[in-house]
Structure 1
């Protein structure tokens, strides 16, 4: 059994976490006083002693029709009466080298709730054989064979089966449910809706996130199809093969199947998600017509459910227990009914908890702030309401290097700090205005909230082909010149647009943010971010012009209102 503790890996578990999981596994396989007693150092001995009295755990190998063997674990309630059946929950593994063992902390809750539990690692992951398919058609077919095996086991009610998965496991769960009508409910945490939108945003590669995922997969374990796609993404080649690869792996394209079956679907994501597209998850959620719930939390990919996977409390896992109980008839949750619609936290307050019926009622009406030129004695432009502001031009240098403004200094860890109330501090006063253009509102006279979808329009004239701009909306304290990021988005212009002015309109990531009185909204546009492109110190210094021509004036639309 191998663990991924590679230095610099944003998904790596610490040594104590790995030791705890291994001790849990050994205690579940052999619930002797000596094994269970080892768990006392983490305060878990009583939990797993109760689990051992409630259910029996075994590790099993599931052989697929093509000979691939999937590494799995089965938990069955003890002392079932003859003919008695239970609801079952299937847990496809997240993308981590310990595979399905990432869910060991959840087994006691599922077991005490009367569930049969089957967790497994998809082909190519952990100790499963075969090649990694990235939640492709073969993984979906495997899920059906896994269910075939499960329903043949004693105690399983074939009419009460649900799937829970985190991240990679969420994708597999959603896609499997579109293919197999035996799946009566799905809960997907840190889910994706459209894989292509996650790889390319406004024509721009999410390069840093992509490379981090490839590192986790391990290219030597990937299918040839996936290795071909890896090469094309690195070469920035967007062709039909890449699009079809992503299409087949996108729940967004299975809407008819979910809606025809009325499949109950719970989704969770994060405001500062750097792996999968948040707008695509919201779009997917909005087009579902069956029972549905969406949770959006403070932080980044996987942050919200992390403690829940370890057996502690988290909103995503607590909601998932209630979701399955409601639709399958178990009792793993706290007895409360699940919340339908949208539930959210605002940055950077994980204690906040708001609820709305749908995205339309959640998002505030947008106000238009026009990008205006600088005034005498000022170095930054203004964000102003009222009349459009045509006629100005701002020139920034394109050097292949970035500024203080970045999407996130570190994948995953930056968002985790946000959940602790410690957002990254941007010293925007120190940003080189030769490398970035900046606009700001006047200090606000009362606290405001940004809540919903944002959009930017600006006219861009680049000298080079495939020029990129990145827009960041910041919350700036003018007294200190320090800021926190609210949202962002990149935009890449095509080869055909080099040397000419092109008006581009593009969405920023949705946001939910509270601004303190006296702060400013600050829009920064620059030409480099290591999240999207590698630094290149040999790039010749070129210029890129941002303008606001008459009839196509530049603006940013922000869903904002006073704080209640």
Structure 2
């Protein structure tokens, strides 16, 4: 028997191309046979209010971009929304339902497939200058076809389209507001965090773009991330494509920006987006949720109730239509707490952290209040442990959203290939809110070293859930050097229950990251008296 063919890898496994295609066919024909009642009602409303057409936008260099336009007739002034596509072979089709909902609320909407994807010509440049020019050409297209005056302009994107949206807004002064879902701020940090290459993320991007047409430069950069060649060139390439590099332009015009992100994001880890968010000085809002890349907003892409998309609509209604819906007074930050799913709003991101608590790494594997010098914990390189970032890029996040976060068996972590420190059982709930920080010193026997630090919530039975983590690599120190690592773990909102223990695990290998260690080399962690090793926790 021939085994069933595996579906192509997607960063958006819940997207149903058949259902989205049927929805668009109904928009064109009016025949809603087979559509769920809610989708059929949306089609009927959109057809009564707007004209839906497929389109070709003339992009940069004359390349034709596949697109769809939802256009109102009449001379009434209206706002416009432009939606660059995610990193998917579906192109603009991924936005079909949400674009229809925006159109029904009075917007003229253009959704388009980014160059090199789906039916668009050109090659994938990864939010390069041609993509920015394409966004402006797409805006030209919808303005030219609007029968009434265009009042204000918004750009909205998920994933790939979110980065393009920020960059277009930074370069095109006509853009008045941005919604960026599962986005990036610093692409260089997303690919090369603490000098550690994010190889699993780039492999996933390549697999998801199997049907796309990558430019030679894009292919070369991705190959270099995987192999470690010309990393300085990679970072120069990423800088141009990082909204963080252009934040002054956004701030000069005080462009309102709404971000949505996931705590356990494996493609664009949260800290680099937070850095961008903190630099914005205009109206801004950030939602951080349980899950992984695009997971928190995915049900809304399919037309189901979704708080992220509800806020996206409210953001544009307020900033593009002037609706007094209260979103400007609800605080800049809202976080979903692991694993209670409680939503907590704060005036700002820094205000989520009320004070810091320091745990020192001590001899005997203790996390305690007092610094202790002179000990050594040796880790053997070249072997993985059960402590890992996730089982699968993106897909593990859906299990978290369903209430099934990965359970780690801490007794299976081999203490010869990992160093482990554990705190006393919590006397009361420990409310982690913010960005944990780790300072640790180690001696590497060989040139080039990597470690990954994981912070776990460990139950009395020894099972654990991952709170956060971060990698670190040193690529320049000579052999037998004493190396000091001072790093931020990824931001978190996590409640450690009474009786549970915090556990810090450091090992030398994780399949998500490049490994600079030599096989069978050792890393000897210690705590010098002058610079003690510690874990600093944000409490709120």
Question: Could you say which residue in structure 1 is the equivalent of 2:350?
Answer: 360
Return the alpha-carbon distance in structure 1 between the equivalents of residues 284 and 11 of structure 2. Answer: 28
**Displacement, 1:450?**
0.6
Return the alpha-carbon distance in structure 1 between the equivalents of residues 132 and 194 of structure 2. Answer: 29
The answer as to whether partners of 2:473 and 2:516 remain within 8 angstroms in 1 is no
The answer as to whether partners of 1:159 and 1:182 remain within 8 angstroms in 2 is no
Cα deviations across residues 517-542 of structure 1 (Å, max 9, x unaligned)? 10000000000000103799xx6422
Return the alpha-carbon distance in structure 2 between the equivalents of residues 321 and 144 of structure 1. Answer: 22
Question: Could you say which residue in structure 2 is the equivalent of 1:370?
Answer: 360
Return the alpha-carbon distance in structure 2 between the equivalents of residues 194 and 239 of structure 1. Answer: 15
The answer as to whether partners of 1:295 and 1:344 remain within 8 angstroms in 2 is yes
The answer as to whether partners of 1:88 and 1:156 remain within 8 angstroms in 2 is no
Which of 392, 398, 401 aligns to 1:416? It is 398
Instruction: Find out whether 1:348 has 2:330 as its counterpart.
Output: no
Which of 166, 174, 183 aligns to 1:174? It is 166
Give the aligned CA root-mean-square deviation in angstroms. Answer: 2.0
Question: Could you say which residue in structure 2 is the equivalent of 1:378?
Answer: none
SS at match of 2:529: coil
Return the alpha-carbon distance in structure 2 between the equivalents of residues 64 and 550 of structure 1. Answer: 61
Instruction: Find out whether 1:530 has 2:511 as its counterpart.
Output: yes
Return the alpha-carbon distance in structure 2 between the equivalents of residues 535 and 29 of structure 1. Answer: 54
Question: Could you say which residue in structure 2 is the equivalent of 1:388?
Answer: 371
**Displacement, 1:460?**
1.2
**Displacement, 1:280?**
1.5
Question: Could you say which residue in structure 2 is the equivalent of 1:289?
Answer: 281
Cα deviations across residues 148-188 of structure 1 (Å, max 9, x unaligned)? 22211133533311111101000000000001011111000
Question: Could you say which residue in structure 2 is the equivalent of 1:36?
Answer: 32
Instruction: Find out whether 1:556 has 2:535 as its counterpart.
Output: yes
Which of 438, 444, 452 aligns to 2:426? It is 444
Taking a change above 3 Å as real, the CA distance of residues 449 and 509 of structure 1, as seen in their structure-2 partners, is same
Question: Could you say which residue in structure 2 is the equivalent of 1:503?
Answer: 484
Q: What is the TM-score with the length of structure 2 in the denominator?
A: 0.95
Return the alpha-carbon distance in structure 2 between the equivalents of residues 290 and 306 of structure 1. Answer: 27
Taking a change above 3 Å as real, the CA distance of residues 219 and 543 of structure 1, as seen in their structure-2 partners, is farther
Cα deviations across residues 506-563 of structure 1 (Å, max 9, x unaligned)? 1111111001110000000000000103799xx64222211112212111101136xx
The answer as to whether partners of 1:474 and 1:483 remain within 8 angstroms in 2 is yes
Q: What is the TM-score with the length of structure 1 in the denominator?
A: 0.91
Return the alpha-carbon distance in structure 1 between the equivalents of residues 90 and 212 of structure 2. Answer: 17
Return the alpha-carbon distance in structure 2 between the equivalents of residues 51 and 336 of structure 1. Answer: 27
Instruction: Find out whether 1:164 has 2:164 as its counterpart.
Output: no
Return the alpha-carbon distance in structure 2 between the equivalents of residues 282 and 512 of structure 1. Answer: 14
Question: Could you say which residue in structure 1 is the equivalent of 2:11?
Answer: 11
Return the alpha-carbon distance in structure 2 between the equivalents of residues 301 and 495 of structure 1. Answer: 32
Question: Could you say which residue in structure 1 is the equivalent of 2:525?
Answer: 546
User: Is 274-283 or 299-308 further displaced after alignment?
Assistant: 274-283
Instruction: Find out whether 1:486 has 2:467 as its counterpart.
Output: yes
Taking a change above 3 Å as real, the CA distance of residues 8 and 97 of structure 1, as seen in their structure-2 partners, is closer
The answer as to whether partners of 2:426 and 2:500 remain within 8 angstroms in 1 is yes
Return the alpha-carbon distance in structure 1 between the equivalents of residues 25 and 275 of structure 2. Answer: 43
**Displacement, 1:220?**
6.8
The answer as to whether partners of 2:70 and 2:100 remain within 8 angstroms in 1 is no
What pairs up with 1:325-336 in 2 under 5 angstroms? 325-329=317-321, 335-336=325-326
Which of 200, 205, 210 aligns to 2:202? It is 210
**Displacement, 1:298?**
0.9
Q: What runs of 5+ residues in structure 1 fail to find an aligned partner?
A: 375-380
The answer as to whether partners of 1:10 and 1:413 remain within 8 angstroms in 2 is no
Taking a change above 3 Å as real, the CA distance of residues 110 and 330 of structure 1, as seen in their structure-2 partners, is farther
Instruction: Find out whether 1:53 has 2:48 as its counterpart.
Output: yes
Q: What runs of 5+ residues in structure 2 fail to find an aligned partner?
A: none
The answer as to whether partners of 2:434 and 2:491 remain within 8 angstroms in 1 is yes
User: Is 89-98 or 99-108 further displaced after alignment?
Assistant: 99-108
Instruction: Find out whether 1:433 has 2:415 as its counterpart.
Output: yes
**Displacement, 1:430?**
1.5
**Displacement, 1:353?**
1.3
Taking a change above 3 Å as real, the CA distance of residues 303 and 349 of structure 1, as seen in their structure-2 partners, is farther
**Displacement, 1:113?**
0.7
Return the alpha-carbon distance in structure 1 between the equivalents of residues 506 and 387 of structure 2. Answer: 9
User: Is 389-398 or 459-468 further displaced after alignment?
Assistant: 459-468
Return the alpha-carbon distance in structure 1 between the equivalents of residues 22 and 117 of structure 2. Answer: 21
Taking a change above 3 Å as real, the CA distance of residues 364 and 287 of structure 1, as seen in their structure-2 partners, is same
Question: Could you say which residue in structure 2 is the equivalent of 1:146?
Answer: 138
The answer as to whether partners of 1:115 and 1:330 remain within 8 angstroms in 2 is no
**Displacement, 1:340?**
4.2
SS at match of 2:278: helix
The answer as to whether partners of 1:193 and 1:284 remain within 8 angstroms in 2 is yes
**Displacement, 1:6?**
5.8
**Displacement, 1:10?**
4.8
The answer as to whether partners of 1:159 and 1:184 remain within 8 angstroms in 2 is no
Return the alpha-carbon distance in structure 2 between the equivalents of residues 125 and 256 of structure 1. Answer: 30
The answer as to whether partners of 1:473 and 1:521 remain within 8 angstroms in 2 is yes
**Displacement, 1:263?**
0.6
